[in-house]
Structure 1
């Protein structure tokens, strides 16, 4: 699944024309999503959710604000747009139409705005920091970052039963408000329905009328490098109809760390944030 890829970013390098460190402010919603205020094509003021699992941008059919100056082709793609975030201007931004997004957002914006640069997600100070050179890494732990078509995977240990550690890869998914969401394969192989303490269950119907059952359990321990979190909420699907192909490391887990991604996206450095020991987000 994981291989080295050559990425082509659609965002202008003009954002990084100054050698000094750059910052972009954001706010965190009560659902753990990161929101940045943008001006698209110098006309449309949109609140976009930062989605670390994508490179480009999109707008939602449920947006609260108008996006009249995005022109989409027959494939629902809009090319060569500008996005202004504070004093920073991005050019040649590609938008996709009608993609669902998080609460309080009109759409999404991805990691393309950091193309070729080291960047930090600083949850303590509600801002992104962008570097031309590697910043001070004192107090941080380095981890291998697996990059698959612009999506980032990290490796962690899941302690399900006693001291037995089950290794797994997780997709960083800042659009998922919860903590962990396991893939169908992992949930079945590790028999999570019986091994975890289940706290809730929800049944939904898809467009074909088929039932999709999700459960929330409690993972006793989760180990990411030298950091250990206890009693972590973990979702998974049960029944005949399942929809989850990969494990998610959600926004609730991401906010518990400060992240520095190196420029070539092969290594990520983490340290606990002020939210590390906060109560977990409850999926409703």
Structure 2
């Protein structure tokens, strides 16, 4: 993690002030359990005395909540609300001070000029349902990024970093076979530009995961507090600095954040029974619909849906899981109903506290979408792609 000198300075000022004392808790292990709102996770955090401060960003919500850090021998409970930051110290083994901050995912309200800007970025919808944007790094390197609503920040694959940018510090030696690439210490990105939209000094993280044939991805968090239109009819991504009036024909629905993923509620109607859950908007996926295994088990979701195909995958430990592609007969959300949707049933057991399903872009591309990350609502309007055939694959 990279943190500015000013953040560190604020910590030093607090420590130096006789009037201000940071709370201190103790630990003999680096592993910390975290209860973030309603979600408890073991070993969710590792203490790092060398990072000052080490910032834990709480799962995004506009409601006030409590976040608790549990060390092996102590704990601290912190109230989190939009824009809040709470600093404290974890004393590790009685000698190492771990300066820690619990921060809201929503930044503090900033004073603005009142002028609303509108940035338009053209995109291409690829054969793999990716929203492809072309970005330029430091005025020299052009890469393809996909807009992924279920991702965070800016990411570039390690292959693209090495082959298509000047960000790998020892690139010449790596290409000559004399050294290994160090992706943890990349050269600085001073400018990232899409059309006329510019991010100055953005944080770029290496990744192994992008949509098919993409060099990198853009997550929703870079548009926090803004309104984003995804117009498939005109192949445009339009970013408004402040929410603007929504045209007629769009239907409004709330966005619910689960693990900081923007989600919407949907309901299956199968054999005269209803199954309701939350769906993350995964525009980075080429699939139409992906159902979580834990959610299916809790819902007693039907196991006899028409089968398209099945296959077996293995995890890092060599465990085998059967994954199936089936046909879901009917799904309704936001007053729109879809039938006969190719649906991927995951075979792995996921975090029981999450139970998030995913709407991939083979589904989502059928709507022109307005995402309001200021008021946490979404507006949807069926577009010219509503009735195209689904892209079914394994």
TM-score, scaled relative to structure 2 = 0.64
Shift of 1:146: 1.1
Shift of 1:22: 2.3
Equivalent position of 1:266 in the other structure: 376
Equivalent position of 1:39 in the other structure: 136
After the TM superposition, which residues 12-23 of structure 1 pair with which residues of structure 2 at under 5 Å, given as runs? 19-23=116-120
**Matched position secondary structure for 2:274:** strand
Distance in 1 between the 2:265 and 2:139 partners? 41
Q: Is structure 2 residue 364 aligned with structure 1 residue 254?
A: yes
Equivalent position of 1:216 in the other structure: 325
- Greater relative contact order, per chain length (Cα 8 Å cut-off, separation 6+): 1
Match of 2:307 among 198, 208, 218: 198
Unaligned runs of 5+ in 1: none
Distance in 2 between the 1:205 and 1:185 partners? 18
Distance in 2 between the 1:114 and 1:17 partners? 18
Unaligned runs of 5+ in 2: 1-37, 39-59, 63-81, 83-103, 170-180
Q: Structure 1 residues 120 and 172, CA, compared in 2 at 3 Å: closer, same or farther?
A: same
After the TM superposition, which residues 56-75 of structure 1 pair with which residues of structure 2 at under 5 Å, given as runs? 56-63=153-160, 65-69=163-167, 75=184
Distance in 1 between the 2:309 and 2:302 partners? 11
Q: Is structure 2 residue 136 aligned with structure 1 residue 29?
A: no
Contact 2:261-2:280 within 8 A present in 1 as well: yes
Contact 2:243-2:372 within 8 A present in 1 as well: no
Shift of 1:110: 1.6
Q: CA RMSD in A?
A: 2.9
Distance in 2 between the 1:190 and 1:133 partners? 37
Equivalent position of 1:136 in the other structure: 246
Equivalent position of 1:242 in the other structure: 349
Could you report, residue by residue, the CA deviation over 1:96-128 in whole angstroms, capped at 9, with x for unpaired residues? Answer: 113311112111112244232211111111111
TM-score, scaled relative to structure 1 = 0.86
Equivalent position of 1:126 in the other structure: 235
Equivalent position of 1:276 in the other structure: 386
Distance in 2 between the 1:126 and 1:48 partners? 15
Distance in 1 between the 2:122 and 2:159 partners? 24
Distance in 2 between the 1:194 and 1:217 partners? 10
Distance in 2 between the 1:140 and 1:149 partners? 27
Shift of 1:149: 5.5
Q: Structure 1 residues 84 and 18, CA, compared in 2 at 3 Å: closer, same or farther?
A: farther
* Structure of greater Rg: 2
| Worse-superposed segment, 75-84 or 241-250 | 75-84
Distance in 2 between the 1:74 and 1:30 partners? 30
Q: Is structure 2 residue 145 aligned with structure 1 residue 48?
A: yes
Contact 1:44-1:69 within 8 A present in 2 as well: no
Shift of 1:136: 3.0
